[in-house]
Amino acid sequence: MAATLALGVPAALYAQTQIYDAKTRKWVDYDRKKARQYYARNNQPPEAFRRQIVRFRTAEQPGTIIIDGNQHFLYLVQPDNQAIRYGIGVGREGFGWAGIVRVGRMAEWPTWTPPAEMVARDENARKWAGGMPGGPENPLGARALYLYEGDNDTIYRIHGTPEPWTIGLDVSSGCIRMNNDDITDLHARINVGAKVIVLMQGAALYKGV
């Protein structure tokens, strides 16, 4: 199955993030405002979106990356029916595609070059039309995994972020974002050529987080 664009996905189809409130024993909405407040108090995202080992049954080989954008999780398959689960933020571009691709290249503290349409509409992006050097404020964060279909760059990325409070959310731009510690951890565990499976919307592995 090739990576394909699904253009014009209605906003109503985007996943509404929820987290479990142990006090009320209910699932509650987790939006951008609540995420900023939570991160300000705890300096980390909710427990569900922190890196952890989970049970995970799959026929895919260890080292495969499986992305469940609905529930804002990225899984790195491990031996013995386990996976490392990372929380992710998913941008509009990340919601617009699904398929099987591979990691074509990787970069540490990558340069970010805004697309032409962003340069045209955004004065702040315009000054980086030639590329923003890597660093703590760079939108791609500490590492980037560039996803390829065959020998062709799909333009989709798994990358870090200078906005760690957005993990677990649907965000305004970008593909698949992780906090910088997590993308650094993932980068260290995989090699170029790693298989990446991006699930279609509505094909979430689990309900809830």
Residue 174 structure tokens: 């970008």
- Taking 3-state DSSP, the helix, strand and coil percentages for the chain, each rounded to the nearest 5, stand at 20, 35, 45
Q: Give how far the C-alpha of residue 105 lies from the chain's centroid of Cα atoms, to the nearest Å.
A: 17
Distance between terminal CA atoms of the chain?
27
Per the annotation, the verdict on 159 as an active-site residue is yes
Of 103, 175, 176, 190, which one is the catalytic site residue? 175
Of 72, 85, 159, 187, which one is the catalytic site residue? 159
What does DSSP assign to residue 186? H
DSSP-derived 3-state class of residue 134? coil
The answer to whether the CB of 69 falls within 8 A of the CB of 92 is no
DSSP-derived 3-state class of residue 44? coil
Task: Kindly give the residue spans of alpha helices, DSSP state H, lying in the chain.
Answer: 32-42, 92-95, 116-121, 123-126, 180-189
Neighbours of 193 (CB within 10 A): 11
Per the annotation, the verdict on 175 as an active-site residue is yes
Closest CA relative to residue 45, chosen from 56, 25, 30, 29: 30
**What residues are labeled active site?**
159, 175
